A and B are shown apart, each in its own frame.
Chain A
Amino acid sequence: MSSSSLTAIDRPKRMRRKPVEPLYYFFLVPTLLFFTLAITVPAVIGIFFSFTNSIGIGDWDFVGLTNYQALFSDPAIWQSYFFTFGFALVTVAVVNVIAFLLALGLTQKIRARVALRAVFVIPMVISGIIIAYVFNFLFSNSLPALGHALGIGWLETSILANPNLAWIGVVIVTAWQAIPGTMLIYIAGLLSVPPDVYEAADIDGASRFQCLFRITIPLVFGYAVINMILGFKNFLNAYDIIVGLTNGGPGTATRSVAMTIVTGFNGGDYAYQMANATIFFILAVIVSVFQLSLNRGRNTL
Chain B
Amino acid sequence: MVSFHNRSSARVGALLVVAMAASSLVGGCGSNSQEQIRFAFSKREAIPFMQQVVDRFNDEHPDIHVQMDTSGIDVTSASFVRGNPPDFALANYNMETSRFVERCTLSDLSDTPAAQKMSPDFGPLLDEYGECEGRLSAIPYSIMSAAVIFNQEIFAEYDLEVPQTWDELLDVADSLKESGVTPFYATWRDDWTIGQGWFDYAAGGMVDIGAFFESLRAEGSEVGPDSSVSFAKDMEKPVEKMRYLVENYTNADADSRTYGDGNLAFAQGKAAMYLQGPWAFNEIAKTAPDLQVGSFPLPMTNDPDDLKVRVNIDLAAWIPEASGHKEAAREFMDYVFQPEIIQEYNASQLGFTPTIDAPPPDDPRLSGMIPYYGEAAFYQGPSVLVPKTIPIFNYMQGIVMGQSVTDTLTTIDADWARLAKRN
Indicate if the CB atoms of A57 and B105 lie closer than 8 Å: yes
Indicate if the CB atoms of B253 and A263 lie closer than 8 Å: no
- The smallest C-beta distance from B307 to any residue of chain A, in angstroms, reads 31
| Complex alpha-carbon distance, A76 and B3, angstroms | 27
Indicate if the CB atoms of B81 and A268 lie closer than 8 Å: no
Closest A-chain residue to B97, C-beta based?
A268
With A268-B388, A272-B422 in contact, is A57–B99 under 8 Å at CB?
yes
Q: Is A63 in the interface zone, CB < 8 Å from B?
A: yes
Q: Is B7 in the interface zone, CB < 8 Å from A?
A: no
With A247-B191, A249-B191 in contact, is A266–B401 under 8 Å at CB?
no
| Complex alpha-carbon distance, A250 and B415, angstroms | 19
Indicate if the CB atoms of B391 and A252 lie closer than 8 Å: yes
Indicate if the CB atoms of A270 and B394 lie closer than 8 Å: no
| Complex alpha-carbon distance, A250 and B188, angstroms | 9
Contacting chain B: which of A10-18, A156-164, A217-225?
Answer: A156-164
Indicate if the CB atoms of A66 and B389 lie closer than 8 Å: no
Q: Is A248 in the interface zone, CB < 8 Å from B?
A: yes
Total interface residues on A, CB under 8 Å, equals 48
| Complex alpha-carbon distance, A34 and B397, angstroms | 43
Contacting chain B: which of A67-75, A113-121, A124-132, A181-189?
Answer: A67-75
| Complex alpha-carbon distance, A99 and B394, angstroms | 34
| Complex alpha-carbon distance, A67 and B189, angstroms | 32
| Complex alpha-carbon distance, A230 and B76, angstroms | 33
| Complex alpha-carbon distance, A94 and B391, angstroms | 30
Partner of B395, one of A252, A268, A272: A252
Closest A-chain residue to B394, C-beta based?
A252
Indicate if the CB atoms of A157 and B422 lie closer than 8 Å: no
Indicate if the CB atoms of A265 and B81 lie closer than 8 Å: yes
| Complex alpha-carbon distance, A198 and B256, angstroms | 52
Q: Which residues of chain A are within 8 angstroms of B78 by Cβ–Cβ distance? A: 265-266
Partner of A158, one of B16, B255, B389, B411: B255
Closest A-chain residue to B103, C-beta based?
A58
Of listed A57, A60, A62, A270, residue having the most chain B CB within 10 A: A57
Q: Is B32 in the interface zone, CB < 8 Å from A?
A: no
Q: Residues 1-25 of chain B: 1 if any A CB is under 8 Å from the residue's CB, otherwise 0?
A: 1111110010010001000000000
Contacting chain B: which of A48-56, A278-286, A287-295?
Answer: A48-56
Indicate if the CB atoms of A161 and B188 lie closer than 8 Å: yes
Q: Is A45 in the interface zone, CB < 8 Å from B?
A: yes
| Complex alpha-carbon distance, A255 and B415, angstroms | 16
With A57-B103, A66-B421 in contact, is A250–B398 under 8 Å at CB?
yes
| Complex alpha-carbon distance, A62 and B10, angstroms | 12
Indicate if the CB atoms of B253 and A144 lie closer than 8 Å: yes
Q: Is B212 in the interface zone, CB < 8 Å from A?
A: no
Partner of A248, one of B81, B104, B389, B394: B394
With A66-B422, A267-B388 in contact, is A59–B188 under 8 Å at CB?
no
Q: Is B116 in the interface zone, CB < 8 Å from A?
A: no
Total interface residues on B, CB under 8 Å, equals 48
- The smallest C-beta distance from B195 to any residue of chain A, in angstroms, reads 12
Q: Is B70 in the interface zone, CB < 8 Å from A?
A: no
Q: Is B165 in the interface zone, CB < 8 Å from A?
A: no
Indicate if the CB atoms of A266 and B77 lie closer than 8 Å: yes
Q: Residues 125-166 of chain A: 1 if any B CB is under 8 Å from the residue's CB, otherwise 0?
A: 000000000000000110010000000000011101111000
| Complex alpha-carbon distance, A267 and B96, angstroms | 7
Q: Which residues of chain A are within 8 angstroms of B16 by Cβ–Cβ distance? A: 45
Indicate if the CB atoms of B394 and A249 lie closer than 8 Å: yes
| Complex alpha-carbon distance, A75 and B255, angstroms | 25
| Complex alpha-carbon distance, A156 and B257, angstroms | 12
Closest B-chain residue to A53, C-beta based?
B423
Indicate if the CB atoms of B255 and A161 lie closer than 8 Å: yes
Q: Residues 395-423 of chain B: 1 if any A CB is under 8 Å from the residue's CB, otherwise 0?
A: 10110010100000001001100110111
Indicate if the CB atoms of A55 and B422 lie closer than 8 Å: no
| Complex alpha-carbon distance, A248 and B422, angstroms | 24
Indicate if the CB atoms of B12 and A61 lie closer than 8 Å: no
Closest B-chain residue to A37, C-beta based?
B19
- The smallest C-beta distance from B257 to any residue of chain A, in angstroms, reads 8
Q: Is A240 in the interface zone, CB < 8 Å from B?
A: no
Q: Is A64 in the interface zone, CB < 8 Å from B?
A: yes
List, sorted by A's number, 28 A–B pairs whose CB atoms are closer than 8 Å: A53-B423, A56-B77, A57-B80, A57-B103, A58-B104, A59-B103, A62-B3, A63-B1, A66-B421, A70-B418, A73-B418, A75-B411, A144-B253, A156-B253, A163-B401, A249-B191, A249-B394, A250-B394, A250-B398, A250-B401, A251-B394, A252-B395, A255-B391, A264-B389, A266-B77, A266-B96, A270-B81, A272-B422
Per CB-CB distance, the 8 closest pairs between chain A and chain B, nearest first, are: A58-B103, A251-B398, A158-B256, A161-B255, A56-B81, A267-B388, A269-B389, A267-B389
A interface, CB within 8 angstroms of B: 45, 48, 52-53, 55-64, 66-67, 70, 73-76, 140-141, 144, 156-158, 160-163, 247-252, 255, 263-272
Other than the given A73-B418, A247-B191, 20 more pairs (CB < 8 A) read: A57-B100, A62-B2, A63-B3, A66-B1, A67-B422, A70-B418, A70-B421, A70-B422, A75-B414, A141-B256, A157-B256, A160-B256, A163-B401, A249-B191, A250-B188, A267-B96, A268-B387, A269-B389, A270-B81, A272-B389
